[in-house]
Amino acid sequence: MDLLLTLNLSISELVSPLTAAYILCAIGLSVHFGYTGLLNFGQAAFAAVGAYGMAIGVLTLKLPLLAAMGFALLCVVVFALILGIPTLRLRADYLAIVTIASAEVFRYLMSTSGFSEVTGGSNGLSQFGYEFYTWNPVPKGQYNLGLFTWTEEEVWLRLVAFSLVALSAVLVWLMMRSPWGRVMKGIREDEDAVRSLGKNVFWYKLQSLIIGGLFAGLGGIIFVIAMSNVQPSTWVTTFTFMIWTVLLLGGAATILGPIAGGMLFFVLLTLTNELLDGLRAIGWLPFLDQPQVAQIRFILIGLALMLLVVFRPQGIFGNKKELRFNA
C-alpha cells in the first residue's frame, strides 16, 4: 500500500470542488438550522433544483450558462416558496418530515421517464457546462503546486468553487451580525416570544428557507459542473445527511464551521477508504471485500454523527452555551 499516495489523495479533498459543493450546502443548512432552527432534512432537494435548473436552462431553454445559473437560483426560490408557505406554520418536527418527503418527490420526478425529454430521466443530463471553461482566465498548462498537479481547467474550477464558498461565508457573517440575524436567532430560541415582540415570524422563516436554499442551489451547480453531468441518484437522502454531518462536525451556528467541517469530513472519508482498502489489499482485513470497504466508511460516518451529537453537539467551533439541541 502506498501511504504517500493515500495521504496525497486525502489531502487533495481539502480543495476538491465537490468538497466546496458540500460546504455551500452546509452553509445553507447553517442558515436554516443553525441560525433559524428550521429542521430541514431535504437540503439535497435544494441542491438538486439548482443543478437541474441550470442544466435544463442550458439544454432545453437554450440559455447562456450564466443566465441558466440565474434561472436555477430562481427555481430554488420558487421551490422554497412552494415548500415553505404551507409548512412553515407547522412545528419544527413536521417541517423535517415534509422536507425529507419533498426531496424524495423531487428526485423521483426527475428520474421518471415521463419527463425524460427535459430531465433526462434516470440517465440524467450532461454536456451543459462547456461554457464554464470558456470563461477561464487561467492560461493553459500544467500547474504544479507541490502536492498536486492541476490543469488550467482544474485550477479554474477550484478557484470559482472556493471563491463562492468564501463569498457565502462573508454574506452569512454579514447577515447574522445584524439585527436581522438577531431576529433569526430569536426564532430559533422561541418563535412565540419573537412574535410577541412584533416580528413577522412566518416571513422571517420563509426568508431563511429561501436564503439557505440559494446557498444549496449554488452548491448543486458547482457539484454538477465538477461532475459535468446531473444524475437523479446523486440527490438521495445520503446527500442530505452528509451535509448534516459536515455542518454538525464544524458547528451549526458558526461561520467557519461548515468550511472546516466539510474539509475535515472529506479528508477523513477518503483517508478511511484508502486506508481500509490498502489494508485489505495487503491481506490484513480478510473478512472484507472491496465493495464492503466502500460501504463500511458510511457505517463509520453514521457512528461519527451519533457520537458527535451526543458528545459535542456544538461541533468544532460552536459555542456550547449557544447551541444545544432544542429545535
* Residue 91 in contact with another protein, rule: CB under 8 A: no
Only segment of 70-78, 124-132, 194-202, 288-296 that touches another protein (CB under 8 A)? 194-202
* Closest separation in Å from C-beta 199 to another protein: 6
SS3 144: strand
Yes or no: say if 240 and 43 are a contact pair by the CB < 8 Å rule.
yes
* Residue 188 in contact with another protein, rule: CB under 8 A: yes
The grid coordinates of residue 134 equal 470558456
Closest to another protein by CB, 70 or 181: 181
Closest to another protein by CB, 72 or 183: 183
* CA pair distance 208, 92, nearest whole angstrom: 14
Yes or no: say if 75 and 149 are a contact pair by the CB < 8 Å rule.
no
Yes or no: say if 243 and 24 are a contact pair by the CB < 8 Å rule.
no
* Residue 190 in contact with another protein, rule: CB under 8 A: yes
Which residues 297-326 are close enough to bind another protein by CB under 8 A?
321-324
Only segment of 8-16, 90-98, 114-122, 171-179 that touches another protein (CB under 8 A)? 171-179
* CA pair distance 222, 144, nearest whole angstrom: 23
Only segment of 51-59, 111-119, 181-189, 262-270 that touches another protein (CB under 8 A)? 181-189
Number of H helices, E strands in the chain: 14, 4
Backbone phi and psi for residue 78, each to the nearest 5 degrees, phi listed first: -60, -45
With contacts defined by CB under 8 A, how many residues of the chain interact with another protein? 31
The grid coordinates of residue 5 equal 499516495
Only segment of 7-15, 139-147, 184-192, 234-242 that touches another protein (CB under 8 A)? 184-192
* Closest separation in Å from C-beta 299 to another protein: 33
* Residue 278 in contact with another protein, rule: CB under 8 A: no
* CA pair distance 217, 33, nearest whole angstrom: 16
* Closest separation in Å from C-beta 92 to another protein: 15
Binding test (CB under 8 A) with another protein, winner from 179, 283, 286, 291: 179
Max Cα-Cα span within the chain: 66
Binding test (CB under 8 A) with another protein, winner from 139, 145, 146, 192: 192
SS3 321: coil
* Closest separation in Å from C-beta 46 to another protein: 18
Only segment of 167-175, 220-228, 241-249, 277-285 that touches another protein (CB under 8 A)? 167-175
Binding test (CB under 8 A) with another protein, winner from 207, 240, 245, 270: 207
Q: Specify the length of the chain in residues.
A: 327
> Could you tell me which residues come within 8 angstroms of residue 71 by beta carbon, excluding any fewer than 6 positions away?
53, 54, 57, 61, 63
* CA pair distance 28, 320, nearest whole angstrom: 21
* Residue 206 in contact with another protein, rule: CB under 8 A: no
Yes or no: say if 305 and 238 are a contact pair by the CB < 8 Å rule.
no
* Residue 155 in contact with another protein, rule: CB under 8 A: no
Binding residues for another protein, rule: CB under 8 A, are 171, 174-175, 177-183, 185-186, 188-190, 192-201, 207, 211, 321-324
